[in-house]
Structure 1
């Protein structure tokens, strides 16, 4: 059964709306899905509508940023309550602070001679924060940047010492607080693309896989090489973890283009997540 449990919409740093993603998912033959927008649950009501329209069951989910000793990594929350007050407060706070940063970046662009109104930039946000890729998407719309160069240009425009650099001052929570938020919202904690963490900090990777608050690991992701996948599957078996995976779809905001469902998932994975699915389904 074809499924994808890791995708991003315009409610975070994806280029497509939730409806557009579900339309693509239908075209690709997906039978189950989850949009895991970054640090927000504000799109979950729209996902419920999309699920009904396209008859694809979904898991209410999000991908949260945790910060440990200056390093950021991602934690997926599956089966979360879309009406959880704490997650809604967190989501709205994140949206507000990210857009304040974007406003400062836009001002720097305008002062440098880029004559595009702030309103046009924020229209590109699509309901979510105005991420850096979206800012460059507007420049591409005006012919100031090639669309295929958006992702490779992020550091040139916004990196350390770049002309439109603005630090992210959002107070990201610790891993334990993120786990607490997810569990308070009735969700399950899954470590996102652990291969990324392993490359940056092997000690942290090993420590996280031993954490009691962890419920699962994302095995099937393009950032996990085969040896890491085998290692994670062994950990999942020994600790009775749930196993997840997906394409990490971002629309045009991807270094390596892919479509929903492009990461092949084992049949048993979707069946193992069936208890978290909501909406129309016939697994």
Structure 2
């Protein structure tokens, strides 16, 4: 059944907690969203819904509407593609099997990368595990945090620009499904799929975008600090022509990135369309 929209004020639909690669627990993420004036917020940790309960309780206690979400990993050839999955059923068997597989791949790749890095830098696997929060799957951001803690780099930005860069000798690719398959998984779980920060270095090929739209892709995260002007304009035109959902979000990671809650927001009518389309779970109202 459609979920009637009941929300007021700005909406930020892309925030991360320590259950993936953010630096704050879900409750603190919602508290930060509230401090920045948000009244609707989504938790979209990578490939996990484990922070939903804590985030929902914190958000509603602050008078905010909580939108259950997740950022599902996908891959097209060399390119990582992230799909924001709103209002999915967290117990859908196919989606759960895929996220379990992706998280397992994250651990495997992190261990291999850590072993490679340790040949050249004074860092051990225990240093990396120490940077993970409760319930979090270890990943590249935690390797970056360990490198910072050991004084090898200044911050995550330096780590990702150098030691952890995909073109570097230490990098290991993450297993992830094809973007079309990822869209199908989200739709099959009753969710609403939106491509996160889709207009960065290069757009997906038209043929891939069309296949994703045919599979049920709902729209694009148009307002995001990593999107570039020209490809953003192209996607905005496509969204207008196809009457797609467009969102704006911060991609907040606590201290992990400079992004701040509410630096980009989603219009109320677009939030309402997400609520109406989602079938897997419901937004949580105060």
- With normalisation by structure 2, the TM-score equals 0.81
Q: Structure 1 residues 91, 155: CA separation in 2 closer, same or farther (over 3 Å shift)? A: same
Structure 2: distance between partners of 1:196 and 1:161? 17
Match of 2:3 in 1: none
TM-score of the aligned structures, taking structure 1 as reference length: 0.82
Residues 1-283 of structure 1: pairs in structure 2 closer than 5 A? 1-112=9-120, 114=122, 116=124, 118-126=125-133, 127-146=135-154, 149-159=155-165, 162=168, 165-170=170-175, 172-196=176-200, 199-204=202-207, 207=210, 211-226=214-229, 228-254=231-257, 257-275=258-276, 278-281=283-286
The Cα of 1:145 is off from its aligned counterpart by: 2.8
RMSD (CA atoms): 2.8
Question: C-alpha distance in 2, partners of 1:201/1:208?
Answer: 11
Deviation at 1:261, TM superposition (A): 0.8
CA distance in 2, matches of 1:44, 1:249: 16
Check 1:191–1:142 CA distance in 2 against 1; reply closer, same or farther (3 A cut): closer
Aligned-pair distance for 1:22?
0.8
> Structure 1 residues 202 and 114 mapped into 2: Cα distance closer, same or farther (>3 Å)?
same
Residue 110 of structure 1 and its aligned partner are, at CA, apart by 4.3
In the superposition, relative to structure 1, how do residues 210 and 49 fare at CA in structure 2: closer, same or farther (>3 Å)? closer
Tell me the distance in 1 between the aligned counterparts of 2:20 and 2:33: 18
Structure 1: 5+ residue runs without aligned partners? none
1:35 and 1:160 map into 2 onto residues whose CA distance is 27
| Partner Cα distance (1:244, 1:89) in 2 | 28
Pair 68,141 (structure 1): closer, same or farther in 2 beyond 3 Å: closer
In the aligned structure 2, how far is the partner of 1:113 from the partner of 1:220? 38
Q: Please say if residues 40 and 90 of structure 1, whose CA atoms lie closer than 8 Å, have aligned partners that are also in contact.
A: no
Count, aligned residues: 273
CA contact (8 A) 2:113 2:172 kept: no
Residue 52 of structure 1: how far off its partner (Å):
3.3
Q: CA deviation at 1:274?
A: 4.6
Whether contact under 8 Å (1:155, 1:162) holds in the other structure is no
Matched residues in 1 for 2:179 and 2:123: separation? 41
- Aligned equivalents of 2:107, 2:183: Cα separation in 1: 25
Q: Take 1:160 and 1:4, find their aligned partners in 2: how far apart are those partners?
A: 29
